[in-house]
Structure 1
Amino acid sequence: MNNFTRFIALALILGSALTSIAQDRKKPNIVFILADDLGYGNVKAFNSKAFNSNSKIPTPNLDKLAGEGIKFTRFYSGSTVCAPSRCALMTGYNMGHAWVRGNAKGKDGFGALRAQDVTLAETLKRNGYKTGMFGKWGLGDEDSQGAPHLKGFDSFYGYLDQSHAHDYYTNRLFEIIGGKMVEVPTDTTQYTEDLIVNKAVDFINQNKNEPFFLYLPLTVPHAELKVPAELLRKFQNADGSSKFQPETPFEKKGNYDSQMQPHAAFAAMVNKLDTDVGTIVKLINKLGLDNDTYIFFTSDNGPHKEGGADPVYFNSSGPFKGIKRDLYEGGIRVPLIVRAKGKIPAGQEISSAWAFWDVLPTITELSQTHLPQNIDGLSFSPLLLGKKPVKEHDYFYWQFNEGGLKEALTKGEWKLIRFKHKGLTEKLELYDLAHDIGEKHDLAKANPEKVKALYSLMKQAKTPSENPRFDWSDVEK
């Protein structure tokens, strides 16, 4: 081998080594998919024992995703309804400290994030990430400080307001154009879920060569129960009748349109969600990004019963008691799947408790991004890499006020729930989740010392809301 040949060989080896180092140092892509009102029991991978002829809705893409990564079986949403849950996700604060603690219009001073509320998207953008959100925001309208273009997103397309998101055949959506939030017309014959997913696909294709954060808060299967006819036919018999009998037609009420076959429509929406998740995952794989991409999938809260939805029929809460707007497990425990080929060993199941406010510190640690100070969240990223977290939560806390104040606190396997209506005596319920996952047996009277200890901790877990919209002190009187 002459000197020139040796030089070429050495250059090739060095080039290969530098390429390998560069790939190892590349910031990972983050894809966070959020379903809307999907119950723990609606995903077969989390509820296979209860999947019978009545409850079964195919979720093959989600089941495959769970098999290729980690399934978290005790993961909690930020709240039991939309906006506060998403606030916890974006800011890392629980309901004892968050700015948005309930559903409200996204106006400044009400349900919109403030300028000082730092979001996950803002932290990642400062670290060089391209940031895109497609779907439902719910934390600020176009004229507020909480609008997506002011909270760290380079790209956005979808709904700003959660009420508007009830309409799957709307004549308008919102989009970031030229750095500003713009209302754009839409074809009312097009299903908005398709429009949103198409924009997400475009975002991935446009940013495949640099680190990106894709936040995909899809609107299905939230009511109203509406799907294109071709999707509904998958869950109908040849004569057009529903495969999920008996059906009780839902008549238009409030924001929700009529639906003659709510069971079939709900099944089609869950199946549509699963198909859209599959679209994103397949694209990541096709582009060769699967080894550089963490894919998260979860739901914003428990299953709903609005618009004709029937969570009992579909066993949507799985083994848990309660649905959306409850602080029982069925209202706040949601499925979480995390996949990253080449980084996360497949087929794992983790039963330790984590929550929405832990997502921000987890993703910032995975992406070597500066973590905002003094938030409630802790990182569970070591679990994704087969290690033990440096720190875990001592307790978890929630509060919610619609028709009275509800509070819940878990410490280990013990759970205390407090109910307080204005002018009425408070009610306390205590459950041992280790032996009563369905919260069927209230142990409060038999365990007064445990109730006292958890009640004391519940008081310490919260601060009075800075937001006058969520100042619930009058409920305590």
Structure 2
Amino acid sequence: MHLKKLIGLFVLAASITQAEAQSSKQRKPNIIFILADDLGYGNLSSFNAKSPIETPNIDQLAKEGTKFTQFYAGNTVCAPSRAALMTGKHMGHAYIRGNANASLRPQDTTLAQHLQDNGYATGMFGKWGLGLENEPGAPHLKGFDTFYGYLLQRHAHHYFTDHLFEVKNRELSKVTIDSTKYVPDLILEHALGFIKENKNKPFFLYLSTTLPHAELKVPEHLMKKFQNLDGSSKYPPEKPFYQNKASYRTQLQPHAAFAAMMYRLDQDVASIVKQVKNLGLENDTYIMFTSDNGPHEEGGGDPAYFNSSGPLKGVKRDLYEGGIRVPLIVRAPGRVPAGKTREDAWAFWDMMPTIGQLTFTSVPTNIDGISFVNALSGKTQKQHDYLYWQFGEKGYKEALRQGNWKLIRFKDKGKPEVLELYDLNKDTGETNNIASTNYAKVQELKSLMKSAKTAAENPAFNWDEVEQ
């Protein structure tokens, strides 16, 4: 064969091989994780047809992706739920198990840190709640290149404030802001900017909005959308809420304000989706939407009026389903089936290994989570042997779900325990406690509860005395 022809064939073969290698080399996907604050399972019209509030943009997310109807928060209040999300550990092993003394330790590694180590741009905007500026759990020490928002949970009660905190170049600082500005406007602006700034490289955006957590405050133009021309609420009857020691400010029309906050949350989700589409990132991006726990009764919150728990029993601070089961929607065109509903029972601590697998990121093995990538892909998914929670405000309570069985245990110091057993397949609303007629099952699940937990390393959550 002629030498020039032979060389030409080699060059052609090499170019084809290089092209094939390039096409097979997948770009690491972007992850956008949107965490609503105190959003109930029933607050989305896509999860609850009886909701008096419509959430069309979030519902559209569900139409374009898969919704999970048996997904669970890490706990029934903010800090421990977020700790489970970030560390992959459930409440039997997590360091943070309540809202008190809620700072991660140096040895507690987060999902953001692992993604950062894998070359991801990492940005968080909204409420952190896992460490103040002088603590080892501060966001710049836990994997975030960029942050803008609240560090302290009580500070995040205020939608109008004179300062927030910011991380730039992995350094944290306090920033003064105009106290007439609505903080969700600023949070969204920074989140959209982060997406645009990092459009050419893989990124992890953690949008931890404070909506619709109390206090129930919105700008006047938003409030008017949910008032009649005479200024009365479109959601009567209204029971005014007056400022109390919990620092929530007065709201004379809490129903109208809550409806406005839900509207604003829905609009923010639309803005994120629009930014992703406009930048041509749609096929490279997973968008996940969920809530940190069940609906609140604080600051004038009225979950009964809004059917916020839907068919579930309980609210925030309960270990009944309404306190811990939350909506989850995952959208990723071509990667996650559209318009599907799944009933896999999984939880916040599964997000670390799941996102780890999606992004080719190594995560620790000594965690409680397992990857649910198969569920996201529409395939058969390995399920947990059990899911476990505990909570210690005003006594000790813990819950364990295995299959369709759920055991809840209540224990106050000096008092006998109370056990409740439910078959969630037949009784999603937990209306029929069948513990008294299923002694063997109660003892089996109670034994599993004991094995699911270790002694709390944080003295604030050591409840040994309660057991006495």
Could you state the TM-score of these two structures normalised by the residue count of structure 1? 0.94
Matched residue, 1:43: 44
**Residue 386 of structure 1: CA displacement?**
2.2
Query: Distance between the aligned counterparts of 1:15 and 1:396, measured in 2?
Result: 46
Q: Following superposition of structure 1 onto structure 2, how do residues 294-373 of structure 1 map, counting pairs within 5 Å?
A: 294-373=286-365
Structure 2 SS opposite 1:45: coil
Matched residue, 1:431: 422
Query: Distance between the aligned counterparts of 1:14 and 1:116, measured in 2?
Result: 44
The one-letter code of the counterpart of 1:80 is T
**Residue 350 of structure 1: CA displacement?**
0.5
Matched, 1:134 2:125: yes
| Structure 2 unmatched ranges of 5 or more | none
Matched residue, 2:33: 32
Query: Distance between the aligned counterparts of 1:444 and 1:386, measured in 2?
Result: 35
Structure 2 SS opposite 1:213: strand
Matched residue, 2:273: 281
Query: Distance between the aligned counterparts of 1:345 and 1:178, measured in 2?
Result: 37
Query: Distance between the aligned counterparts of 1:270 and 1:467, measured in 2?
Result: 36
Matched residue, 2:390: 399
Matched, 1:89 2:85: yes
Matched, 1:207 2:203: no
Query: Distance between the aligned counterparts of 1:456 and 1:83, measured in 2?
Result: 27
How big is each residue's C-alpha offset from its partner over 1:412-449, in whole Å with a ceiling of 9 and x where there is no partner?
Answer: 11111111111111111111111111111111111111
**Residue 179 of structure 1: CA displacement?**
2.5
Matched, 1:20 2:15: no
The one-letter code of the counterpart of 1:298 is T
The one-letter code of the counterpart of 1:28 is P
**Residue 464 of structure 1: CA displacement?**
0.4
The one-letter code of the counterpart of 1:119 is T
Instruction: Select the residue among 98, 109, 112 that pairs with 1:118.
Output: 109
**Contact kept? 2:400, 2:445, Cα under 8 Å:** yes
Matched, 1:102 2:98: yes
Instruction: Select the residue among 402, 406, 411 that pairs with 1:415.
Output: 406
Q: 1:188 to 1:222 in 2, by over 3 A?
A: same
**Residue 58 of structure 1: CA displacement?**
2.1
Question: Number of residue pairs matched?
Answer: 463
How big is each residue's C-alpha offset from its partner over 1:131-167, in whole Å with a ceiling of 9 and x where there is no partner?
Answer: 0000000000000110000000000000001000001
Q: 1:420 to 1:286 in 2, by over 3 A?
A: same
How big is each residue's C-alpha offset from its partner over 1:329-375, in whole Å with a ceiling of 9 and x where there is no partner?
Answer: 00000000000012112111101200000011000000011121210
Matched, 1:68 2:64: yes
Matched, 1:272 2:264: yes
How big is each residue's C-alpha offset from its partner over 1:366-403, in whole Å with a ceiling of 9 and x where there is no partner?
Answer: 001112121000110111112223x3211111000110
**Contact kept? 2:68, 2:327, Cα under 8 Å:** yes
**Contact kept? 2:144, 2:170, Cα under 8 Å:** no
The one-letter code of the counterpart of 1:289 is L
Matched residue, 2:137: 146
**Contact kept? 2:146, 2:169, Cα under 8 Å:** no
Matched, 1:383 2:386: no
**Residue 20 of structure 1: CA displacement?**
3.0
**Contact kept? 2:312, 2:428, Cα under 8 Å:** yes
Query: Distance between the aligned counterparts of 2:198 and 2:288, measured in 1?
Result: 18
**Residue 6 of structure 1: CA displacement?**
11
Q: Following superposition of structure 1 onto structure 2, how do residues 149-164 of structure 1 map, counting pairs within 5 Å?
A: 149-164=140-155
Could you state the TM-score of these two structures normalised by the residue count of structure 2? 0.96
Matched residue, 2:220: 229
The one-letter code of the counterpart of 1:34 is L
Matched residue, 1:167: 158
**Contact kept? 2:83, 2:130, Cα under 8 Å:** yes
The one-letter code of the counterpart of 2:343 is S
Matched residue, 1:107: none
The one-letter code of the counterpart of 1:428 is L
The one-letter code of the counterpart of 2:76 is T
**Residue 10 of structure 1: CA displacement?**
9.3
Instruction: Select the residue among 176, 180, 189 that pairs with 2:167.
Output: 176
**Contact kept? 2:303, 2:309, Cα under 8 Å:** yes
**Residue 21 of structure 1: CA displacement?**
3.2
Query: Distance between the aligned counterparts of 1:310 and 1:18, measured in 2?
Result: 57
Structure 2 SS opposite 1:187: coil
Structure 2 SS opposite 1:252: coil
Query: Distance between the aligned counterparts of 2:12 and 2:184, measured in 1?
Result: 52
Which aligned runs of 4 or more in structure 1 are off by greater than 2 angstroms? 5-22
Structure 1 SS opposite 2:225: helix
The one-letter code of the counterpart of 2:277 is N
**Contact kept? 2:145, 2:169, Cα under 8 Å:** no
How big is each residue's C-alpha offset from its partner over 1:188-230, in whole Å with a ceiling of 9 and x where there is no partner?
Answer: 1100011011000110000000000000110010000000011
